[in-house]
Copies of this chain bind each other. A is one copy, B any other.
Amino acid sequence: MEGDKAASGGGGLVLLNCFVSPFGNRVRIALKRKGLPYEEQPQNLADKSPLLLSSNPVHAKVPVLLVGGKSVCESLVILEFIDDAFSGEGEPLLPAAPCARSHARFWASYVDTKLPECAARVWRSPKGAAAVVEEGKKDLVAVLKTLEAELGAKPYFAGDALGYVDVALVPFAPWFLTYEKFGGFSVAAECPALAAWAARCARENECVAQSLPEPEHVFQFVCGMRKMFGLD
């Protein structure tokens, strides 16, 4: 969706984000990986700014990337935009071969359609809804195991270096602690290769390390949000 609101002037890139958002943090990683200068404007999702509402009127969600006077919304659409618009600057996130591109898009779409929905049942259910949480945990672990099987023995989903699926998935890693605390399980015990991959992404890629929040801060944020919504 392209709004008509100007960002902070010129052709500069402005990212509307919230520091815990896995979706927004995908964009952070992609921008840093390309070395593109940008300004981040943190958004309060409990009291949405006029800029957020006007630049993403359909969903009123982060992330939004403001590009000159236009807005690009939806995190995977923004990743593709960065590849399309800045193809001259550094390696693209998506591979060049059509089949390989499809493969990457398929798995990023898998993450979006499966992971957040299962995860939300784990961390966003009202206190006492133990059966819902248990079912959510079971489904979430199945999703993580499917992703781990797709990773296989490769260091990254894309092969030897960070790529599109890695960038789509790794911003969920700081949420693992929250999933574990509410779901009563261990990602590292269930999916050791996936846990090792997440650590590798941050250890070997500054763009990842610089973009992700501390797991404990995510947990504190979630606890605060649960209180606000009367879930505890």
A residues within 8 Å of B by Cβ?
A: 1-2, 58, 67, 70, 72-74, 76-78, 80-81, 84-85, 98-99, 101-103, 105-107, 109-110, 146
* Least distance between A132 CB and chain B CB atoms (Å): 19
Is the beta-carbon distance between A84 and B101 smaller than 8 angstroms? yes
Chain B: which residue is nearest A110 at the CB level?
B58
Is the beta-carbon distance between B67 and A85 smaller than 8 angstroms? no
Q: Which residues of B contact A102 (CB under 8 A)?
A: 2, 72, 77-78, 80-81, 84
Apart from A73-B106, A76-B109, A84-B98, 7 more pairs, CB < 8 Å:
A1-B106, A2-B99, A2-B103, A58-B106, A70-B99, A84-B102, A85-B98
Is the beta-carbon distance between A77 and B2 smaller than 8 angstroms? no
- How many angstroms from the CA of A2 to the CA of B101 in the assembled complex? 11
- Mostly helix, strand, loop or mixed at chain A's interface? helix
Given A84-B98, A98-B84; A109-B77 close (CB under 8 Å) = yes
Q: Within the complex, which residue of B58, B81, B101, B106 is in contact with A101, where a contact is CB–CB below 8 Å?
A: B81
- How many angstroms from the CA of A81 to the CA of B105 in the assembled complex? 10
- How many angstroms from the CA of A58 to the CA of B110 in the assembled complex? 9
* Least distance between A133 CB and chain B CB atoms (Å): 23
* Least distance between A145 CB and chain B CB atoms (Å): 12
**Which 9 pairs show the lowest CB-CB distances between chains A and B?**
A85-B98, A84-B98, A81-B102, A77-B105, A72-B102, A1-B106, A77-B102, A77-B106, A2-B103
* Least distance between A144 CB and chain B CB atoms (Å): 14
Q: Which residues of B contact A80 (CB under 8 A)?
A: 101-102, 105
